Structure 1
């Protein structure tokens, strides 16, 4: 059992320690982790993470290396994390790790997760203190993700414990802790993220009120204020407090939270845009967010047993928490609070004074909305509420198109040496639809999770403007590297621990999307200096490729790079017009790097596909770099839009190209780039691209990669045909 620590049984652990008191077990790490994560293994995982997700690794010189979500790059850790998620009502479990020199560590802080520190090597001295020193208002902000992880002073009366290699230390949720290495040490931690009841509110209401027609009917015309609003809120409040509805909500709560393997929304209807539930939900969430039962942590239980089979202590906790959830709804003041929240939202007065100016992001998107025909009637400010109905309609349209184009018509035509421009464009269009759906889902969920009203309004205005654009323009916006990276970072802030602040990421929405909503097309690579979004998001990925970006390039440097890109495209136009057209359709932005390099001197990151860092080269070498990056973009679009490999695409394998760990998805991209390079290296004449060096060793490495993909990637029928086409292109079949 996952929480069975030998002499301390699972029931005893939950009754006496879980979220109550720390637990130090000598030699206890082996109860969770079977094999040791020594320094070499830890640094290997860090290298694999930095190759794909560089923002997950933080280095302070050579003294401290902190890695987040290590299970992305270590199969054993991933298996343990998924086992916890499958057996307990915790939706997100991950591994973090620290490798530190003597006297070093991470500053005193607290987490919104329960942590199991597993000391792997060396010794570490810990100080821990209960959360009594943290103001409740600060805890609320952290649980609602309104504030980042902050340092917290450690009280003098803290508990102290020193971990030896193999020891385990359980640190309860919200306990302040500070670990300092005694000599060099390595440790990993299992983090069990705390969920709030507010995170389940929407599916619970949809399911619990499914049989209540009053909540699903459109709001009557004119219900904005006065007696009509009083009557409506009174009727809905009375229904919430009625016995049958309360029982339905409780059953929905138990199913959504404590049966996570089932689809929480399965069979639950989707409310219409004008329904009482849809219109009143934001106000209801705002009022409940002030109640500790709703913003505090949800109890964790085993989900592979009936609740009645759990210990009495755990059952009592679950029942008491469920009772606390609905107690505020029955309070005499609830009706008035709900009405005030509703009126404030209607008037646009949530969290800001009347007439206050919106921040720069909101102003930008208001202008973009107006330019796209998305302004409110009379040319006023952009809409303040997320257009959920329109989002649902657009996602339904996307789903219908994706169902109709679910199969590759000709997998062979997708190989870089055989695929036509039309085939690549069709692949890119399908990937754009997937990206647009992901962007809409992420922004809608972020809008519901945010509290700052100015950021919520910016998101609502931007999505309104986006949805009023022609369908093709919307898809082109979603395919841009800016959109891809924004959706990735937003999802990270929403779903992962130690994530960036959600409101901080969302404040990029205005400056990032305003120009895209005005001008959505592109006609080939645009050379630019890094700024704004590029500095905040992309450069972390470029660093992982060992590339130093020129942050302040001179006009001369930009002109030199633009000239080299133009020369490379011209070479492709003479030697391989089809590849030139693929480059023009795939690469959006080129950013200059410091120094010169060889043919492969370029960096692109999957979450930012379409943006490349490179130095100027000769015409033929630049042609090769551009062609390889265009092939990588096509490979990413293929994996995004079609089911070609059913294995774990994030599983790392040694790369025959470099010898370093590389995910299966990365190997798929690499082999696409190599096939493109091999095809171009064979082009004869004066416009020859590349050289014979590509045809030998790199070709053999590409064949090895194809073997790995066949064995580990679990290819589908279409995937096998595509891998066969790639091998045929190499000339080994």
Structure 2
């Protein structure tokens, strides 16, 4: 499928202009953007079929989980056949059996194997000034793959098909860094998940949700299969330090041994860095955030949804 360059990048992830996103939301607050794009030029359920049945995928490009527990890879992988000296090739029939039992399928690293997503990730990297990783999540009806948790990186959720209810809660840690994974504060995360959510919304095809690092979230499918993509902000920069705007190398900074963790103070610098990147891009297309409540259309099921 030909890639429409005009439909690439940040305007497909958020419903506000780049400048507003940089100033109000980047690494600061979640943003729900209903009815933004159909995303079918990037990945479809048929595309998931093709990846499972025709690419000889191996771990760790595939993970599976159910009700908050990661499923051991041995339950859906095996040998590659006569003469193939590998033991971790994904077997699609085992994956389909686990899906039928309510498990969630995670396809990881799609920014390396799917040409439309390779181009999409490259465009976002230019706009955001930081590498992007793309995963896809396929979940059966009335199912949940993961318990409430937070990530130590920002994410964009793009709903491809089906309906998925997202509950988003205030952070328990301010801008956590990779060494502050949610498992170390599991009790606090569970308590936050029991409070009134900041966002309670059902994502349907074309909706997008931005979550800064640290915001507690969980998602459950409704009465049909759900496929969504998750775009992770990957960075090789040290925790809390913003990526340099394109064309301007970051200046090295020394950190005193007795200095406290810099993440809270650095959030403002991160937004400033994205703000400068947005300015370099020129004016963005006019966009407007839409209200949360709207009709929820249904989607036809594909082969995987039988």
2:172 equivalent to 1:172: no
Of 103, 111, 114, the match for 2:154: 114
DSSP 3-state at the match of 2:37: helix
Cα distance, 1:89 vs structure 2: 2.3
1:9 equivalent in alignment to 2:9 = no
Question: Residue 40 of structure 1 aligns to a residue in which SS?
Answer: helix
Whether the aligned pair in 1 keeps the contact of 2:19 and 2:275 (CA below 8 Å) is no
Change (3 A) 1:123 1:305: closer
Alpha-carbon deviations, 1:281-327, whole Å to 9, x = none? 7xx454345344577683341665667x899xxxxxxxxxxxxxxxx
**How many angstroms does 1:165 deviate by?**
1.8
> Residue 10 of structure 1: CA displacement?
2.3
Q: C-alpha distance in 2, partners of 1:36/1:303?
A: 28
Aligned-pair distance for 1:55?
A: 1.3
1:19 Cα deviation after fit: 3.4
Q: Please list, as runs of the form range in 1=range in 2, the aligned pairs for 1:182-581 lying within 5 A after superposition.
A: 182=222, 183-193=224-234, 257-259=244-246, 261=247, 284=255, 286-288=257-259, 290-293=261-264, 298-299=270-271, 300-301=273-274
Higher relative strand content: 2
Q: 1:21 aligns with which of 18, 24, 29?
A: 29
SS in 1 for 2:20: helix
- 1:41 aligns to what? 47
What secondary structure is seen at the aligned counterpart in 1 of 2:261?
A: coil
User: 2: distance between equivalents of 1:287 and 1:173?
Assistant: 25
Q: Indicate the RMSD between aligned Cα atoms, in angstroms.
A: 3.7
Tell me the SS of whatever aligns to 2:225.
strand
C-alpha spacing 1:161/1:64, structure 2 compared with 1 (3 Å): same
Structure 1 position 21, deviation (Å) = 3.4
Query: 1:79 and 1:7, CA in 2 relative to 1: closer, same or farther beyond 3 A?
Result: closer
Report the CA distance shift for 1:18/1:29 in structure 2 as closer, same or farther (over 3 A).
Answer: farther
**CA distance, structure 1, for counterparts of residue 113 and residue 53 of structure 2:** 9
Q: Distance in 2 between matches of 1:174 and 1:129?
A: 9
Matched, 1:69 2:40: no
Contact 2:22-2:278 within 8 A present in 1 as well? no
Q: 3-state SS of the aligned residue for 1:186?
A: strand
Match of 2:195 in 1: 156
Structure of higher CA gyration radius: 1
| Kept after mapping to 1: 8 A contact 2:19/2:279 | no
Distance in 2, Cα, partners of 1:288 & 1:197:
15
CA distance in 1, matches of 2:195, 2:240: 36
Q: CA deviation at 1:83?
A: 0.9
Residue 106 of structure 2 aligns to a residue whose secondary structure is strand
- Over 3 Å counting, the alpha-carbon distance change for 1:83 and 1:38 in structure 2 is same
String of CA shifts for 1:152-206, please: whole Å, max 9, x gaps.
3213301210011222222233211101111211111222246765586xxxxxx
For 1:76 and 1:37, the matched residues in 2 are separated by 8
Which residue, out of 47, 61, 64, partners 1:56?
61
Measured in 2, the distance between the counterparts of 1:54 and 1:262 equals 37
Q: Distance in 2 between matches of 1:49 and 1:177?
A: 32
Q: Distance in 2 between matches of 1:168 and 1:292?
A: 26
| 1:124–1:185 Cα contact (<8 Å) kept | yes
Q: Distance in 1 between matches of 2:279 and 2:42?
A: 35
* Equivalent-residue separation in structure 1 for 2:158 and 2:278 (angstroms): 27
Residues 36 and 120, structure 1, Cα contact 8 Å, conserved in 2: no
Distance 1:72 1:194, change over 3 A: closer
Q: Contact 1:46–1:67 (CA<8 Å) still a contact in 2?
A: no
8 Å CA contact 1:45–1:74 kept in 2: the answer is no
How far residue 64 of structure 1 moved from its aligned partner, in angstroms, is: 1.1
Q: Distance in 1 between matches of 2:283 and 2:200?
A: 33
Q: Quick one: structure 1 residues 116 and 48, their matched pair in 2 at CA, closer, same or farther if it must change by over 3 Å?
A: farther
Partner of 1:428: none
- CA distance in 2 between partners of 1:50 and 1:112 (Å): 31
The partner residue of 2:136 within 72, 93, 97 is: 97
SS at match of 1:42: helix
Name the CA distance, whole Å, in 2 between partners of 1:46 and 1:310: 40
SS of equivalent residue, structure 1 residue 78: helix
TM-score (norm 1): 0.28
Q: Is the partner of 1:301 in helix, strand or coil? A: helix
- Aligned partners of 2:26, 2:240: CA distance in 1, in Å? 21
The answer (yes or no) to whether the contact 2:9–2:124 under 8 Å persists in 1 is yes
Residue 129 of structure 1 deviates from its aligned partner by 1.1
Contact 1:197–1:295 (Cα < 8 Å) also in 2: no
Paired with 2:206 and 2:194, the residues of 1 have a C-alpha distance of: 28
Per-residue CA deviations over 1:97-142 (Å, capped at 9, x if unaligned) read 11011222222111122222111111101100121xx145xx54xx
Q: Distance in 2 between matches of 1:171 and 1:264?
A: 25
> For residues 286 and 58 of structure 1, what CA distance do their matches in structure 2 show?
39
Structure-2 separation of matches of 1:78 and 1:301: 21
SS in 2 for 1:257: coil
Give the structure with the higher percent helix: 1
| Contact 1:100 1:181 survives alignment (8 Å) | yes
